[in-house]
A = this chain, B = another copy of it.
Amino acid sequence: MGEFELLDAIRRRLPASAPRVLLGSGDDAAISVPGGVTATSVDALVEDVHFRRGSGSLQQIGRKALAVALSDLAAMGAEPGEAYVVLGIPGDLDEQGCMELLEGMIDLAAETGTTVAGGDVTRAAALTVAMTVVGHAATAEALVTRSGARPGDALVLTGELGGAAAGLLLLEAGAEASPTRGSPSRFEPLSASNLYGGRGGAVESALLARQLEPRPQLEAGRTLAELGATAMIDLSDGLGGDAMHLARAGGVHLRVDASALPIQAGVTEVAAAAGREPLELATSGGEDYELLATLPVEQLDAVTAALEAKGTRLTRVGEAIAGEGVEIRLPGGGNLQPRGFDQLRWKASQ
């Protein structure tokens, strides 16, 4: 199957475009009617850098590629619109594999109201999925950048932390547990079945899903934007690093109360088995794709209630004060220094 046949197969599989997309895939360019202003972000997943084939399904890879891109739109409070994909296909991935990857992407696109409006396919040495996503808002003021935090703002967080890092440890443990001699594990082999009585355990499944099927917090992002968030970022690199982006962009100091951080169920056990600290996974692990935002304190109750009504937990984890930096205060006194958890991930947020 050549490129044109594959592109035709992909185009046939794409659902109908949203009304905003006047012309979808198949011409020199897609034509779209934006709704006021656009928010555009790009993100790429590269095999053996951001994922390993075999750790998850091809559907999960396609789904995750779109999810991490949409997560940037969530962090702006934008409404998702169009997605454009560059698929770099290695020689050992056949047409069926490409279509499986696309299925995962299309599923998430349908769930989020995103139109896959165009793309390019090319051969590549390693499986590569580069996504560009375009979101919409009525005005620029309706969007939330990283730079608006003000001293006195509350620092809030959606959902729970550490799950994606724990999921990665579980995946790596499964890989390391295979009888490969001469390459010592970075941590004790950790069979998932040791922890939770088999691969079907709900807690373990939730951790794996956090790593393999992250969810962009689009609705929470729009709610936060509508109800007065002053700055917002998605946690792709980890709480420590991403908080630093907010602190630098806004010229504020962010004080995080480590004891307030919501840690996902199972993270503590996985961290212990791997000889790591749960807080390390929660603050440096990255890839949880929750939203970290600053908010005037008087808005806190309204936002918390609005998100709770939609099933999203919001936790106040700290505050913005004068200065410029980030500190994560430990319960017993002292500060945690977040550090890079996974040197393999060399991902840059937009």
Contact = CB atoms under 8 A, between A and B. Distances in A.
Interface of A: 2-4, 6-7, 22-23, 25-34, 36-44, 46, 48-50, 72-73, 75-76, 78, 82, 84-86, 88, 117-126, 128, 130, 132, 134-135, 140, 143, 145-147, 232-234, 249, 346-350
Contacts of A31: 37-39, 76, 140, 143, 145
A44 B88 contact: yes
A76 B4 CA distance: 20
Given A41-B28, A128-B88, A33 B140 contact: yes
A84 B249 contact: no
A249 B27 contact: yes
B38 A34 contact: yes
A80 to B, nearest CB: 11
Given A120-B44, A132-B132, A27 B145 contact: yes
Contacts of A23: 140, 145
Contacts of A28: 39, 41, 72-73, 75-76, 145-146, 232-234, 349-350
A29 B346 contact: no
Contacts of A124: 46, 49, 125-126, 128
Contacts of A88: 44, 46, 128
A307 to B, nearest CB: 19
A237 to B, nearest CB: 9
15 contacts: A3-B347, A28-B39, A28-B234, A29-B135, A30-B41, A30-B350, A34-B38, A38-B38, A40-B134, A41-B84, A42-B85, A88-B128, A118-B350, A122-B348, A126-B126
A215 B84 CA distance: 24
Nearest to A139: B33
Contacts of A147: 27
